[in-house]
Amino acid sequence: MSGGGGKGIESLKSYISVADFEARAIDLLPKAVRDYYQSGADDESTVARNKSAFRKYLIRPRVLVDVQNLDTKVKISFNPRESYTFEYPLGIAPTAFHRMAHPQGELATSMAASQTNTLMICSTLSTTKLEDVAQAASINAYLWFQLYVYRDRRITENLVSRAIASGYQALVLTVDAPMMGRRRADERNGFELPGHLKMENFDVELLARTFKGKEGASGFGEYVKNMFDLTLNWDDLRWLVEYSKIPVIVKGIVRGCDAIKALEAGARGIIVSNHGGRQIESTVSTIEALPEVVEAVNGRCSVFVDGGIRSGSDIFKCIALGADMVFIGRPIIYGLSVGGVEGVKHVIQILRTEFEYAMRLSGISSIHQLRTVPRMVVHQNYYSSSKL
């Protein structure tokens, strides 16, 4: 039950949108695998809302602005002495099981990230050891490590220590998954990790393999239910901040009040995320939640966002609404499925190109302008307001 990945560099020229990669990936991947990557919680309304909500936010272009030269660089700072500069405000979100999509899996993703100066967040549930992911990247690569907290705290401590030793620059604690949401497609398919793969960050078989799936029950869901810590709370975040020697970023926040609590507990960044719509039905989309979190944080740390981003104009909207950077998940998997390293690089380039188009055609020449021009992006309700 492995993925695709047989396309050559020349053949990728015909792929000019993320949707092109998605359509081909759906053809290449076995049903249980593509359903795992694409599905969401329950009726999947949150997955749909993540994407559809972007259409409710409108760009208000400026005209007669010199946009010959663009400044797309972003600087992410954890403190005055620790900052990183990226060519574009676009990173790779943590997603599990990349080797289901392509034989090289996370190695290919890491190489593509380093070759494009793109920040990558490696998942705890990687099908490649975190050390090997780091080694596959160049010396100047930017890697963060996404962390799930297991019931046995020693497992978590081991992951943190290994990530620090391997050169990861930050930890990304996922806080919206004390257990996995009900993903009906996985339950129907009896999803389990294919037999030739395992979660390589673990040596013990019980931890390295999902439970055995069966019709009506997801083996992965049962694994999470039995292994992850359901008691995870703010004290645990404070413990992790104290235990870790690198900054801790909190992923999975959609409320301003929770962002403030995360900051008070020592978090150095917030990722506005609803787990790609895979956790809970009928929840807020991430672009809808973003302004509230940005307002609550009020510049005290970087704010990131993921979920439903499929185009450069989506990225444009997120940055205009206050995000410092966006992360993409499924589009990377689609690129990986179709073309391995080059497929991932091609998806990144498509989104960068679309972002540049959005900037120029909106009369914006720099990230600073995008963040500071008033009402560059507004909700559609702006045009039904009685104040106009």
Q: Which of 161, 61, 123 is nearest to 369 (CA)?
A: 61
Q: Residue 37: inside a domain, yes or no? A: yes
Q: Residue 283: inside a domain, yes or no? A: yes
**Which pLDDT tens digits describe the chain residue by residue (388 residues)?**
345 544 445 589 899 999 999 999 999 999 999 999 999 999 999 999 999 999 999 999 999 999 999 999 999 998 767 888 999 999 999 999 999 999 999 999 999 999 999 999 999 999 999 999 999 987 778 999 999 999 999 999 999 999 999 999 999 999 999 888 999 999 999 999 999 999 999 999 999 999 999 989 999 999 999 999 999 999 999 999 999 999 999 999 999 999 999 999 999 999 999 999 999 999 999 999 999 999 999 999 999 999 999 999 999 999 999 999 999 999 999 999 999 999 999 999 999 999 999 999 999 999 999 999 999 999 999 998 655 5
* Number of domains into which the chain is organized: 1
Q: Residue 388: inside a domain, yes or no? A: no
Point out the catalytic residue in the list 98, 275, 346, 368: 275
| Residue 275 appears among annotated catalytic residues | yes
Q: Which of 57, 123, 74 is nearest to 329 (CA)?
A: 123
Q: Residue 1: inside a domain, yes or no? A: no
Domain CATH for 331? 3.20.20.70
Q: Residue 162: inside a domain, yes or no? A: yes
Please name the amino acid found at residue 329: G
Point out the annotated binding site for glyoxylate: 36, 148, 183, 275, 278
Is residue 247 within 8 A of residue 269, CB to CB? The reply is yes
At 7, list the tokens. 């396309």
DSSP annotation of 180: -
Q: Which of 8, 43, 38, 18 is nearest to 26 (CA)?
A: 38
Q: Residue 82: inside a domain, yes or no? A: yes
Q: Residue 383: inside a domain, yes or no? A: no
Cα(306)–Cα(184) distance, rounded to whole angstroms? Answer: 23
Range of the domain at 152: 10-378
Point out the annotated binding site: 36, 94-96, 123, 146, 148, 174, 183, 251, 273, 275, 278, 306-310, 329-330
Give this prediction's pTM: 0.95
